[in-house]
A and B are shown apart, each in its own frame.
Chain A
């Protein structure tokens, strides 16, 4: 009895300490949110006002969303690019994953090795040739170009292959004995079985694409094509000292991610733990 009480007490103490520590991780976000509601004069008032004295939320967000850098436009761009990239990437990767795990052909092993080996190439080491290529084939400064750039993921193929390998070969064989070709076996037998895996990858790919800063920075030029992270940065350099506006923009940039994360939390955490993957 005594031991159990002690254990509970210990657990409570650790929980309290960890709560205090977690503040370090949440406080910057709270500060960001609170600041986005303030008038500019009160941003740096010290001691920090955790509840704004004068609420300026409507004006701040209105300026961010419909001002000189209209965020509604960049939201739409980011949404379009993220959804399209996720769809194409899931299709390409699950097809390849099936081919590399469930179709027995001699070249398969080698091709998989080649694909996997390219994972070693740091994206930034090939930026310049990609840039030159894009300028020459007319994909520079277009959303299509960005979507294509994000659609061939070695990581996605590798992850989904792990899932497909978990599908018993007997299912595939019996589908084929029933006269189905590989495509039917893929579509109506294997794919439904790995749906959780595809969902996990889809959520991760969406988050990574939404957050991507580097590719839009290099492959987009026109203002109205900007994605959220890029717009966020341009907005910051333009608004200079208007920190309440900048924070309203930051809140706007983070909120959709939070929603996706909270909805797909289990998938995200599992996916990251499973593949030990990193965007």
Chain B
């Protein structure tokens, strides 16, 4: 009898440990994901992840994926309203929807919404989204998707995502068309709603230049405004470097882990290495060659250094700017928030101007980075979610908050020239920079080119940032040779 009891006990114990094994892990997993943490003060960390993402975002952001254990979740709106789930990789984005949902509920008391925004680290969020879309279950109603990752998500077209055409229609006439197009699927439907244009401009540290060159800030600004071509830009840089005459000081830094410079060149010549939707990718473009050759010369002549850690939107890049090791660089308008967040002591020093061009008369800017927000087919309230999303990101109310809180160059061009909107001195970005950012944006209104983000983009970006740019700028490889190698890799994928 004893034996029998013992045997039974043992087998029960064994079976239960097996089950406990399975159960245990799934338990802890679900506990993790639903952990209702308050909006912890890791806003900075979460943001970082997103910022990185706002760039081309292949590699950055993942560090936070690791470092950040807490998942900030916030719920806004009417507890009795329709519940929507929203995922993002930038906590501030979630707060934007929080603000917008309050406003929506006031305007639509019969159709109130409660929204729960969860901020995941950049890489985690995109992996989770792709996995849940593939699995057909577990995806949120609304989700932010970074432009570099967008091709992977939009590949699912209307199987995965809700076409936004109908919901975006009321706002389309004032929107920058190119920004809607970048979030379109191969079937021509719009699947993502943009936050910003991401127009690329040139940032100059006018204060540091004035100090080094021994002239007034006004004179420096006059010199900057006189820059038209890249030759002018290099000449001004040389003038600054001659004046400063210190080792370790450079005019600018060129990127090995980001393709911004190449994008600018392509936009200036009206080229696009992806070939657009349905086109054939070709990285051996004249514009790209010209830019790379110029960058290589600058590195060799000491005019430019290679950005520490690969590009300026990283901790080392911020430090480099704070140390005044570089005093100018091109970056999209959204980089303004990096100044206010990470380099507040630079307030009042920086001047924003349009980018130089190769030949006078060319376009001088390009929309870089961005986040398209999608509504998934898994949503139980697709219509409400889509309508709310379009309103939250494209209406004037929404655009106002995007500019005030997120510091983006909004896609509604009518606002660019709106005095109350663009010249509001209580806005932190207007306070931070010497000139009004929107004045620059308005002046280049018709000069913003487009480089598409298509299915081949992640491959091109990866090859460029991992291999080609390093070979050319760090290892001094011949530009044609490096681009041929890149083309071979790209060809394998198309």
A interacts with B: no
Chain B interfacial positions (CB closer than 8 Å to A): none
Chain A interfacial positions (CB closer than 8 Å to B): none
